[in-house]
Amino acid sequence: MSRVLPCVSLGLLVLLALEVSSLPLQDEPIDPRIVGGYETDVALCPYQLSLRRKAITAPQNAFSHVCGASIIAEDIAITAAHCISATVPSQWKVVAGTNYRNETDGVIVSVSQIIMHEQYYKEARYDNDVALLVLNPSLPLNNHNIKAIPLASEPPLAGAMSKISGWGTTTYRGSSSYVLLAVDVPIVSNEVCDADYEDYEDGLFNITSSMLCAGVRGVGGKDACQGDSGGPLVVNRQLAGVVSWGAECALAEYPGVYANVPNLRPWIDAKLAEITLLRKKLN
Ligand code: ARG
């Protein structure tokens, strides 16, 4: 008896050690989430969407959360171009009105069209990181937890408080949140942000006018992270940014970077007008 037990526990220990050592491998590809935030309710950010993707080479796999997005009209969502690049509409489901990353409550609709910014990556890495999704059927907006958010028309001032939400990881390379999280982070000017990123990766990353930054400079601890991409950055109840990229997450030295919605308005408005025109012709 006393000889067998240590054997069993040793075996268990070895198994446990193997389990633990295999954990970092599961983190790839990196999946970022809200860092330093608080639990919220979709009724408080009713524009928040979860984008779920199915791998086309493994059609038996379930749809799973990869990015956030925001409702801007009953049948239009806005997300990050990097979330949907090299995919087709049939790979996606869009979930509205849910608090959970991997539940099937809420309203689930399909994507009929992906409109990606033609100048994505043009002048810099992640330049113009924005895309529109046409939803089919339309979302029921007569719902307290499913609502469109107006687009900001002026870039927010440095220091303005923004609210970012999503189901992304709660630490860099950590695990994703099961419930919807939000965090309040001040806007950082493009000039300051560009200077902050000068010493990052040999200055390979530039902050262009299609971008917007938010972070607690010198302190860190609050940020979007992997899995939050494509989701909303809201200032004064208007959509001012789309989660795009950052150096790791919540570092004191590097703010989070967002697609700059007000500066991308000419493109967004032109695409919305095209969609409306096309629809009139078809009807
Ligand atoms: N690219 C990430 C995503 O796909 C979002 C990164 C945001 N990072 C940050 N530090 N703010 O989910």
pLDDT tens, position by position, 66-108: 999 999 999 999 999 999 999 999 999 999 999 999 888 899 9
Ligand 1 neighbourhood includes 166 CB (under 6 angstroms): no
H/E segment holding residue 238: strand 238-245
- Nearest atom in ligand 1 to 80's CA: 4
On the question of pLDDT at 156 being above 50, the answer is yes
CATH 2.40.10.10 residue spans of the chain: 46-148+265-274, 160-262
What is the percent of the chain with per-residue pLDDT over 70, rounded to a whole number? 88
Ligand 1 neighbourhood includes 228 CB (under 6 angstroms): yes
Nearest CA to ligand 1 atom 11: 256
Q: Is the separation of the CB atoms in 63 and 53 below 8 Å?
A: yes
- ω into 137 cis (within 30 of 0): yes
Candidate from 84, 244, 253, 258 with most ligand 1 atoms within 8 A of CB, to mutate: 244
Q: Is the separation of the CB atoms in 243 and 228 below 8 Å?
A: yes
Question: Can you read off the two tokens belonging to residue 282?
Answer: 């078809």
Supply the pLDDT for residue 31. 34
- Give the torsion sign (CA, 76, 215, 46, 154): negative
125 CA to centre of own chain = 17
Phi-psi region of 201 (alpha: psi -120 to 50; beta: other; left: phi over 0): left
Residue with structure tokens 């999503």?
Answer: 166
Q: Is the separation of the CB atoms in 79 and 134 below 8 Å?
A: no
| Band (19; pLDDT cuts 50, 70, 90) | very low
Q: In a 10 Å sphere around its CB, with 0-12 CB exposed, 13-18 middle and 19+ buried, how is residue 61 labelled?
A: exposed
Question: Does the domain made of 46-148+265-274 have the CATH classification 2.40.10.10?
Answer: yes
Ligand 1 neighbourhood includes 129 CB (under 6 angstroms): no
Stated pTM of the model: 0.87
| Fold held by 160-262 | Thrombin, subunit H (2.40.10)
Ligand 1 neighbourhood includes 224 CB (under 6 angstroms): yes
182 CA to centre of own chain = 12
Q: Is the separation of the CB atoms in 229 and 164 below 8 Å?
A: no
Residue 75, amino acid: D
- Nearest atom in ligand 1 to 251's CA: 10
- Nearest atom in ligand 1 to 249's CA: 10
On the question of pLDDT at 146 being above 60, the answer is yes
Question: Which runs of E-coded beta strand occur in 117-180?
Answer: 131-136, 161-166
- Beta pairing partners, 79: 131
Ligand 1 neighbourhood includes 256 CB (under 6 angstroms): yes
Q: What 3-state DSSP class applies to 255?
A: coil
Q: Is the separation of the CB atoms in 168 and 229 below 8 Å?
A: yes
* Rounded average pLDDT over 143-171: 97
Q: Which residues are catalytic?
A: 82, 129, 229
Distance CA 156, CA 271 (A): 23
Comparing CA positions, the residue from 58, 62, 53, 124 lying closest to residue 85 is 53
